[in-house]
Amino acid sequence: MKSEIKKILVTGAKGFVGSNTAKHFKSLGYETYGLGRGDISTKELIEYGLDYWKNSEITIQAIKDYTDNFDVIVHCGGSGSVGFSVENPYLDFKKTVNGTLEVLEFMRLYSPKAHLIYPSSPAVQGEQPDFPMNESLLGEPASPYGYHKKIAEELCQSYSEKFGLKVSIVRLFSVYGVGLKKQLLWDAVKKISLADEEAVFWGTGQETRDFIHIHDVVKLFAALISQESIFLLTNGGTGKKISIAQVVKNIKTILDSGVKLTFNNKESAGNPIYYCASVERLENLIDFKIKGFEQGLVEYVRWASEQ
């Protein structure tokens, strides 16, 4: 007897994390459904690994128009920028909180056996001292983005506890990889490549980040499918920190550039100084080899410098 093909819905499937998620699950044999804003060409459908695409806001009806029988939903839709949330808090709330509520209510009403994977952020924990952040650490978000992600997490937990929905939340740290055309690594490659004598960056350079490759992120999502907890919250990081100064220095070396690197010592609103994941819970859940940042950075810089 032929087994039924499993169906996955990826919201925000045009984005970096969403498109890579769809592509990975397509390779695992899933039928892939995408939902989000904007049109997609036939070529892009193939590139993203999508069988179907709907240009729509994330609503109960838009999801139900596809099917009411999803096995997995990865909700990547919503705001992905601290800066956007500071400038547009109202729109950020609607994108992050309202979209999450629509997905949860769809599951409650029509697809209660689906497994929701929600990519969240350590921004929910705000400014913390310079040590690995575990999942239970409490804190005040430093931006509307962090507050809205926190509300979305609480909605996920509430729906899981009250209605028995299976939900896995992954607080993703600094995701990177070929195809990402924004954030620190992209901006640094562009600045250093185009600078005549000096490339100036925000902050002091002593800020730290924990970079996790997109390939590891999507493998983590897939691994979570088989975990049995009805509600799970875990970090998605490597447990290894690196300073921004060291990152841009490494990029400069890879580019074989002679420009001077300087920092303006200004604070970036809403962005905490230190970010590094505690990975004890993650390592107890799954077993796979994390891609080293050194190797991943070389691949990324070579790709970005050609764009």
Domains of the chain: 7-173+211-237 (3.40.50.720), 183-208+241-278+291-306 (3.90.25.10)
Q: Using CA atoms in the order 22, 25, 27, 31, what is the torsion angle rounded to 10 degrees?
A: -80
- Higher-confidence residue of 31 and 287: namely 31
Across the range 155-182, mean pLDDT stands at: 97
pLDDT at 80: 77
Residue 33 has pLDDT above 50, yes or no: yes
Across the range 201-209, mean pLDDT stands at: 94
Residue 179 has pLDDT above 90, yes or no: yes
Over residues 118-163, the pLDDT tens digits come to 999 999 999 888 889 999 988 889 899 999 999 999 999 999 999 9
Across the range 208-235, mean pLDDT stands at: 95
How far is the C-alpha of 86 from the C-alpha of 80, rounded, in Å?
A: 12
How far is the C-alpha of 31 from the C-alpha of 25, rounded, in Å?
A: 8
pLDDT at 1: 42
Min mean pLDDT across 91-105, 170-184, 265-279 is at 265-279
Residue 2 has pLDDT above 60, yes or no: no
Residues in a beta bridge with 54: 35
With H, G, I as helix, E, B as strand and everything else as coil, classify residue 21.
helix
Burial of 243 (0-12, 13-18, 19+ CB in 10 A): middle
Global model pTM greater than 0.85 = yes
pLDDT at 214: 97
Determine the angle formed by the axes of helices 244-255 and 183-194, rounding to 10 degrees.
50
How far is the C-alpha of 122 from the C-alpha of 135, rounded, in Å?
A: 9
Average pLDDT of the residues of the chain: 94
How far is the C-alpha of 196 from the C-alpha of 259, rounded, in Å?
A: 7
How far is the C-alpha of 105 from the C-alpha of 87, rounded, in Å?
A: 29
E strands along the chain, which residues? Answer: 7-11, 31-36, 52-55, 72-75, 115-120, 166-172, 174-176, 198-201, 208-209, 211-213, 231-236, 242-243, 260-263
Per-residue pLDDT band at 3 (split at 50, 70, 90): low
Over residues 60-116, the pLDDT tens digits come to 999 999 988 999 999 999 887 888 898 999 999 999 999 999 999 999 999 999 999
Across the range 170-199, mean pLDDT stands at: 95
pLDDT at 292: 86
Which of 271, 275, 273, 274 is CA-nearest to residue 142?
A: 271
